[in-house]
Amino acid sequence: MFCDILPPLANLSRAFQRKNIDFSMIKPLVQGTMATIESLLMTPGQHFSSLSTVLPDLRQYGFKQPSSAEEDAFQQQVYNRYLSILLDHISGRFPDAALIEAFSVFDPAKIALNFSVQDAASHGVDALTRLTEYYGPHNVVDSEAAKSELRPFTCIVATNQELRQLATHQIMSLLQKKGELQDMFPNLSRLAAIGLLLPMSTVDCERGFSTLKRIKTDLRNRLSSMTLQNLMMISVEGPEPSDFPYDRACDLWSGWRNRRLSVEK
């Protein structure tokens, strides 16, 4: 039973373990997983369907061959019921999938796809409307001003070769930096800030725990909280070890006059 159910759930879980998950992929991924599970309700999976051919080999271990009535009862009371509850849980886990997908309005790939100046008037209008309807009443953005900013923003991204090659989160990050884009599109900049702060992926949480276990070992269990925090920050956000200037660090350390510890007698 679980051999049929766990693979699609594992694929969905792995998608959310990516550092920068594509906003436009979330809703299709969730809907695709739910559709796969719904298909198992109509037609049991390969492993569950082969139950009658597997059980005879287990008789030597005390398993008996169930009757057709027992198989049907298990399917109705356990198999189908479990799948139905699982579908409810997945649906409840992603109630805002449509809203999150609307942040794909910043996706350069979608903007550049079959783009023309005439298309700029309609590109992303529905997605932006969904965002402004949700965040506008909270005085986060000016809905009308955001819509007026969309067309020139779309034209700039579509006609700039460097911007078209960036990922969605990179475009959103550019809107946050003090500069021309932020000045020109203040309302889109606020929406981009919200999108960047959404906890879309589990990778940062998992990386944090992995880094903690790697640094605070049994031999280093007396690290202070501040030292541990600094070491974790360096490990997660710092440069690659190969890029660290070891020679310069050694020269700086050797140049410190008071680097030796005084030991009292």
Q: What is the pLDDT of residue 116?
A: 58
Whether 157 contacts 164, CB under 8 Å: yes
Whether 100 contacts 199, CB under 8 Å: no
Among 215, 232, 172, 212, residue whose Cα is nearest residue 23:
172
- What ranges make up the beta strands (E) of the chain? none
**Alpha-carbon distance 32 to 40, whole Å?**
13
Q: What is the pLDDT of residue 53?
A: 79
Q: What is the pLDDT of residue 83?
A: 94
Among 262, 145, 128, residue whose Cα is nearest residue 195:
128
Whether 233 contacts 262, CB under 8 Å: no
Whether 16 contacts 90, CB under 8 Å: no
Whether 198 contacts 172, CB under 8 Å: no
pLDDT in single tens digits along all 265 residues of the chain: 899 999 999 998 888 877 777 777 888 889 999 999 999 988 888 888 887 777 777 777 777 777 888 888 888 899 999 999 999 999 888 888 888 888 888 888 877 665 555 555 566 788 888 888 888 887 788 888 888 888 888 888 888 888 888 888 888 888 888 778 888 899 999 998 888 888 777 777 888 889 999 999 999 989 999 999 999 998 888 888 888 888 888 888 877 766 566 656 5
Whether 136 contacts 178, CB under 8 Å: no
